[in-house]
Amino acid sequence: MKDMPDQNVVWGAYLASKGYSRHLIPEECPLCFTLRDFCERYRSGKYLVATGSHVIAVEDGDYYDTWDSGDEIVLYYWRKEEEDERA
């Protein structure tokens, strides 16, 4: 793609090729929907959650990061579609 691997377009294309789909956050509070809120709402599945400058792995309502990013504001997320969900 002739760009750095940390660019959204590059890692987004990679995720799409691996069965992830991109989604926007719910409309009710776009500037106050935190990663903790996201984990409460999405209790099952595999996600990569994007903030303004960071990406966090979420699986089954738990987030995995090198620091406590629970207060970060979520902009959008990628969801992994499981094989049995596609059938």
| Per-residue model confidence as pLDDT tens digits over 32-50 | 899 999 999 999 999 999 9
How many CB atoms neighbour CB 50 within 10 A? 20
d(CA 63, CA 36): 8
User: What's the alpha-carbon Rg for the chain, to the nearest Å?
Assistant: 13
User: What is the DSSP-derived secondary structure letter of residue 52?
Assistant: S
Would you state the pLDDT for residue 60? 95
Q: Domains of the chain: which residue ranges?
A: 8-86
Distance set, CA 60 to CA 2, 33, 47, 48 (Å)? 34, 18, 9, 12
pLDDT above 50: residue 66: yes
pLDDT digits (tens, 9 = 90+) for 2-35: 778 677 788 889 999 998 999 998 787 878 899 9
* This prediction's pTM: 0.81
The more confident residue out of 58 and 7 is: 58
